[in-house]
Amino acid sequence: MDCLFCKIIAGEIPSTKVYEDDDMLAFRDINPVAPVHVIVIPKKHIASMDEITPENSCAVAKIFEKIPEIARLAGCENGYRVVSNCGVDGGQTVPHLHFHLLGGMELSWPVFTK
Ligand code: AMP
Ligand code: ZN
């Protein structure tokens, strides 16, 4: 499949891994927007939040069960933020469901800018 994140899972494109198990991979974002910026993805290809179904949602649940540990491993000491961009208006650029784990500084809110 011609999917950037599936290629990272397959090891065809290198990444700086933070955490990996049978269900998910967490790696450093190549263009970080915060001191800690990790991408967390299910190993099973799901295109976006729009494609989450009762059949595949356990992959998402497993990610959220693991995010506190991934945040600690990544260096978030005082909290963090999890973001998933979906579709054109959401700013999604890679069509494989992913969660941005952001931290390492006090993040501003709201984030809505044009
Ligand atoms: P989004 O714009 O929400 O789809 O997020 C895609 C993210 O993937 C962006 O933050 C990119 O910087 C990041 N990204 C793209 N290619 C790579 C790569 N090869 N390794 C790590 N992160 C990447
Ligand atoms: Zn994929």
pLDDT in tens, 2-30: 999 999 999 999 999 999 999 999 999 99
What is the amino acid identity at position 4? L
Percent of the chain whose pLDDT exceeds 70: 98
pLDDT in tens, 80-99: 999 999 999 999 999 999 99
What is the amino acid identity at position 26? A
User: For residue 28, which atom of ligand 1 is closest to its CA?
Assistant: 21
Percent of the chain whose pLDDT exceeds 90: 95
Say yes or no: CB of residue 23 within 6 Å of ligand 1.
no
pTM above 0.95, yes or no: yes
Fold of 4-103: HIT family, subunit A (3.30.428)
> Quick one: CA dihedral 21, 104, 81, 92, positive or negative?
negative
Nearest ligand to the CA atom of 9? 2
User: For residue 33, which atom of ligand 1 is closest to its CA?
Assistant: 10
Give residue limits of the domains in the chain.
4-103
